[in-house]
Amino acid sequence: MSIALFLVALIAGAALLAVWFDVRFPALAPQRLKNRVVVAAIAFVFVATAPISPAGGLLTLATLLGVFLPALCFALLTSLWLLRSLAQARSV
């Protein structure tokens, strides 16, 4: 499997997990826009600072799946929450 294909699969998997989590647990979304923005900022900082091992092999795969995938999923989930806030503001 090429690196590019793996990254596409990783991002698609994170997006699917975020959508599933949003549908399965809608009550966990912050209710106020301010709280959603703060949580989104924290999520994107977490993605930007997620350590990925450059050693290669199993250690890199473990950090990608154990650290980066949850961070990316959380960032995408907060993006969904922000989009929902935007849709709610537009409908009012």
CA 61 to mean position of chain CA atoms: 18
> Using one digit for the tens of pLDDT, what is the confidence trace for 35-90?
999 999 999 999 999 888 888 889 988 999 999 999 999 999 999 999 999 998 88
**pLDDT (average), residues 1-20:** 94
Q: Look at residue 77 in the predicted model and tell me its pLDDT.
A: 97
Q: Look at residue 44 in the predicted model and tell me its pLDDT.
A: 95
pTM, whole model, 2 decimals? 0.89
Domain boundaries, given as residue ranges, for the chain: 3-91
Q: Look at residue 13 in the predicted model and tell me its pLDDT.
A: 96
Q: What tokens does 35 get? A: 């709280």
73, 91, 25, 23: CA torsion to nearest 10: -70
22 φ, ψ to 5°? -65, -40
If 0-12 CB within 10 Å is exposed, 13-18 middle and 19+ buried, where does residue 18 land? buried
